[in-house]
Structure 1
Amino acid sequence: MTMISRIMGFVRDMLFANIFGVNAATDAFFVAFRIPNFLRRLFMEGAFAQAFVPALSDYNEKGSKEALQLFIDRTAGTLAILLLLFTLAGVIAAPLLIMLFAPGFLWEGGQYELAVQMLRITFPYLFFVTLVAFAGAILNARGKFAIPALTPVFLNICMIGAAIWISPLMAQPIMALAWGVFGAGVVQLLFQIPALMQLGLLPRPRWGYQDPAVKRMLKQMLPAIFGVSVVQVNLLFGTLVASFLTSGSISWLYYSDRLVEFPLGILGVALATVILPRLSEHHAADDTLAFSKALDWGLKLVLLIGLPATLGLTLLAEPLLSTLFQYNEFGSDDVRMAGKSLMAYALGLLAFMLIKILVPGFTSRQDTQTPMRFGMHSIVANIVLSLLLAFPFAHAGIALATTLSAYLNALLLLFRLLKTRIYRPCEQWLFYILRIVAANAIMSAFLYYFVDVTLWLDWSASQRGLHLGMTIGLAILIYSSALVLLGIRPRHIGLHKSVTT
């Protein structure tokens, strides 16, 4: 289901590149979209789930169904009221938010005003999508992963519909995309309701801020934001710095980020979504061995797929961008410029995935302070590196700063889990790593020596698509064959019944 959502996201972005190209108006939209979308990632894939799911697991393990329903009802009512107030404040403060997150727009008056108008339309998306996150967390905690994973498809469908049918009717076509975002929030929330009714857990909202469990969960959300969503915070800061660079920089970073998000969403986010309830259950049951084995399984799977995805995206940066986006308004110069930032982002893909697995090792134990502390280190490092690298390397320097700060965060998290013996690696990790590295070296040699990037820009769309499909297919075949020849088998990943059932 996650893969369906990500593929639809690619279709959406290909359409945007085709219809709107890269210009000041698209930069304005991507800022107006990135602010609520950043908050969506914070809540849907981050802070809310990390704070809510462990509390929900405790009720499932130790409490009655009536206590569980009361906790859900009070959380729903409290969250809805707080969100409504926050959303109204965001709409009113839209000019200040654009000034804060894209101060470079102030020198382009029309671009600044356009971004403010679109943000006032897109910001209410946060209200709906956080309630969607709430509903999805309930479903995930009950082992129902398909509906929450499929829900983001409706964002893509609504935005595609707006681009095709609404934008030609508007004086400023790009405004249609903002209305598409707003409509998607409503549709996504309605899509969750039947699944909740089927479980008998449809919330009956009540104000419950004084409830100790609700208050504790809300307090844990703030540190969880800085723990699990550091990469998103860093990306948003990168947008701020890019607003001072040449026109198109924000769009190039956006398209680069979207390509990195594809493997990150399919494996990183999906695996984190699955592993968090399992880790919470093992912690609630005080099963430290199963807890460590679940982490071991997640880390091995990330290395198995994350490392070749990292190298593949880096070596195929321009061919991928050319095949997916080089149509009409998106030219070869845009491919080259976006390719630079894609290579820089792609090098950090493995770190982005590791963070998705390592943070639940803390938050599932209701420890949100440690990831927050390390996350703050990463944010400070990103700010310093972005300012140092942005002007000599332009937008690619911003992407590289995000990558380097992500590795810092991942290493700090891993070392703490090892030091406290929360995570105890299974045997033969060294041999596993050596085999994975050898298989990736073989695959990378093929991509480096047999892919001529200069030819790609001159081919037709069909030629690019055919060659890209063949190249990726051969790379997967070479990597898979190398794994088998080097002796990697499913048992080496550490598949464990407590993880997979």
Structure 2
Amino acid sequence: MSQMLKSSGAMAAATMTSRLLGMVREMVYARFMADGWEAGAFQLAFMVPNLFRRLLGEGALTASFIPIFKEKEKTTSEAEMWRAANAVISALIIASSVIIGLGILVVSLMLKRGHLSPQTDLMLHLLRWMFPYVLLVCLTAIFMGILNARGHFFIPAIGAAVLNVVMIASVFFLAPHMGEKLHQQIYALAIGVLAAGIAQAAFQLPSLHAEGFRYIWVSPWRDETVRRVIRQMVPATIGVAAFQINVLMTQGMAFWVDPSIVASFQYAVRLMELPQGVFGVSLATYLLPTLSGLAAEKKYPEFKSTLNQGLDHLIFINLLAGIFLFFLAEPMIRLLFEHGKFGPESTGRVSLALVCLAPGLVAFSMNNIMARAFYALGDIRSPMKISIFCLALNLIFAVVLIKSFKQAGLGLANTLSAGCNVFLLFYALRRKLGALELNSLRQILGATLGAAAVAALATWGLSRIWEEHIGHVGVLRRIGAVFVPMTVASILYWGVALWFKVPPAMEMGGMIFKKLLRRK
């Protein structure tokens, strides 16, 4: 477990950097375009190519490719391992180019027909600009997968920071030259997406070169490795993409009901992704090659133990983060986004969406880890079937809730379906592996929930006291409204957990203490 914490901890540090820069990017976006219809048009357009980042960078491609690449690494020569990687990259270039060509053709035909609302017309024009991002993000995903499989986690994770820096720069340096109106200036963001994709892919190349990778075209048409990846990837694509496809569909519905819903909800999603990405995605990315190696060697007791320890640490960290997002939603949104064109009404809409999303944080993160346990075992179909069911369930919830509750309805729909997803994944994995040996999880759950209750009460109480007696006028008061309750609640949470000797708290606390001693 110490190696897991060190590797995922290093990756978490890099991910924290990129996520913080991502939050800065969202702050810049909020100041630039708030959550109006122009912002909704950009966010919806960006979701289409960005779907492939979620799908491939954190899902189907790496989930399918890494176990096969690790197998090649252990059972064949290094030359064969790199040849197989080049074959997959060649296939990826062909597939991405076809997707881009078809996407641009469809969008162009829709624009040619005309009779579109200004919102839809802007969204389609932005989408046409950003479609080539698909190829760039696919290449980045495969590069990251190779580096993860070779034991490199920091560089791939920090690459997202490069992406965010370029996207931020597009607002400051390009947007002022695109016109005077927001619907003209917003094209700078689409160009920034393309430039950022190029920068992120290129950032991985020096590390790949140091590992011995050299790209050479390898015909993918009859390559067995490509066929294996495709066989694994097709059902995995459906399974991992279910949530993202659902987001795209529900956001499309929201855009039709009220374009402002899209941007408001996306700001809330971005804030929730900060803790989810810092530890949840980092841990899940580390676990895939680790669990794949254990499964390949048929070390199933170690497989279960590693999975359970990962879940223990995930729940312990993200439970506290979920409490902060729920009780401090409005102070956080006010501090981060309420500047420029983003006013108090926007704060109210976004914070309501965040309150409804926050209870699902632990479930969202657990789904990432549980799905990777199936992929490591070579079972793609089980999480696919579960995701399809939860996709349908989420759509039903969204249809019922979105018209009456708008942003809040979308948040509730996602939280409910995520909870259902994690329950079904546990059930299916238990049927596959037998007893999952969750005794350690059960033992710490009571103490962890007790610590969470104390932290929640402290966060809620201090937030109310601060708002009633100090208020939020001025930057310093806004900072205090967030960090004073957060700091006190964190101390209490960790104190109670250490008092009851909760293993994740003890192990992480021990690692921090050792590092401090080394520095001294």
Using the size of structure 1 for normalisation, the TM-score is 0.93
Work out the CA distance in 1 between the residues paired with 2:445 and 2:104. 49
> Among residues 450, 471, 474, which one is paired with 2:485 in the alignment?
471
Work out the CA distance in 1 between the residues paired with 2:140 and 2:268. 27
Work out the CA distance in 2 between the residues paired with 1:32 and 1:447. 37
Matched, 1:54 2:67: yes
Indicate conservation of the 8 Å contact 1:57/1:141, yes or no: yes
Matched, 1:38 2:54: no
| Worse-superposed segment, 303-312 or 89-98 | 89-98
Counterpart of 1:137 in structure 2 is 145
Work out the CA distance in 1 between the residues paired with 2:400 and 2:223. 47
Matched, 1:387 2:399: yes
Compute the displacement of 1:208 (Å). Answer: 1.4
Q: List alignment gaps of at least 5 residues for structure 1.
A: 100-105, 496-501
Indicate conservation of the 8 Å contact 2:295/2:377, yes or no: yes
Counterpart of 1:120 in structure 2 is 128
Counterpart of 2:497 in structure 1 is 483
Work out the CA distance in 2 between the residues paired with 1:31 and 1:96. 19
Q: 1:253 to 1:369 in 2, by over 3 A?
A: same
Letter in 2 for 1:87: I
Work out the CA distance in 2 between the residues paired with 1:32 and 1:23. 14
Q: 1:261 to 1:428 in 2, by over 3 A?
A: closer
Compute the displacement of 1:246 (Å). Answer: 2.7
Deviations 1:164-187 (A, max 9, x none): 011011121111000000111111
Q: 1:416 to 1:492 in 2, by over 3 A?
A: farther
Q: 1:401 to 1:392 in 2, by over 3 A?
A: same
Compute the displacement of 1:430 (Å). Answer: 2.4
Indicate conservation of the 8 Å contact 1:234/1:402, yes or no: no
**How do residues 64-463 of structure 1 correspond to structure 2 at under 5 angstroms?**
64-94=77-107, 109-171=117-179, 172-421=184-433, 424-452=436-464, 458-463=472-477
Indicate conservation of the 8 Å contact 2:472/2:478, yes or no: no
Compute the displacement of 1:383 (Å). Answer: 0.9
Indicate conservation of the 8 Å contact 1:226/1:371, yes or no: no
| Worse-superposed segment, 221-230 or 469-478 | 221-230
Compute the displacement of 1:270 (Å). Answer: 0.6
Counterpart of 2:517 in structure 1 is none
Counterpart of 2:512 in structure 1 is none
Compute the displacement of 1:476 (Å). Answer: 1.2
Q: 1:142 to 1:25 in 2, by over 3 A?
A: same
> Secondary structure of 1:436's match?
helix
Compute the displacement of 1:289 (Å). Answer: 1.2
Work out the CA distance in 1 between the residues paired with 2:170 and 2:32. 12
Work out the CA distance in 1 between the residues paired with 2:111 and 2:62. 28
Letter in 1 for 2:269: D
Deviations 1:121-150 (A, max 9, x none): 111111011011011100000101111101
Letter in 2 for 1:415: Y
Counterpart of 2:30 in structure 1 is 17
| Worse-superposed segment, 106-115 or 79-88 | 106-115
Letter in 2 for 1:466: G
> Secondary structure of 2:315's match?
helix
> Secondary structure of 1:8's match?
helix
Compute the displacement of 1:257 (Å). Answer: 0.3
Q: List alignment gaps of at least 5 residues for structure 2.
A: 1-13, 510-520
Compute the displacement of 1:62 (Å). Answer: 1.3
Indicate conservation of the 8 Å contact 1:296/1:494, yes or no: no
Say how many residue pairs are matched: 489
> Among residues 20, 40, 44, which one is paired with 1:27 in the alignment?
40
Deviations 1:84-105 (A, max 9, x none): 1111111222257899xxxxxx
Matched, 1:4 2:12: no
Counterpart of 1:499 in structure 2 is none
Indicate conservation of the 8 Å contact 1:98/1:115, yes or no: no
Compute the displacement of 1:229 (Å). Answer: 3.6
| Worse-superposed segment, 238-247 or 410-419 | 238-247
Compute the displacement of 1:245 (Å). Answer: 2.4
The CA RMSD measured in Å over matched residues stands at: 2.1
Q: 1:90 to 1:383 in 2, by over 3 A?
A: same
- Decide which structure has greater helix share: 2
Q: 1:225 to 1:97 in 2, by over 3 A?
A: farther
Deviations 1:444-488 (A, max 9, x none): 011122212866985222320233122222221111111112222
Q: 1:274 to 1:391 in 2, by over 3 A?
A: same
> Secondary structure of 1:91's match?
helix
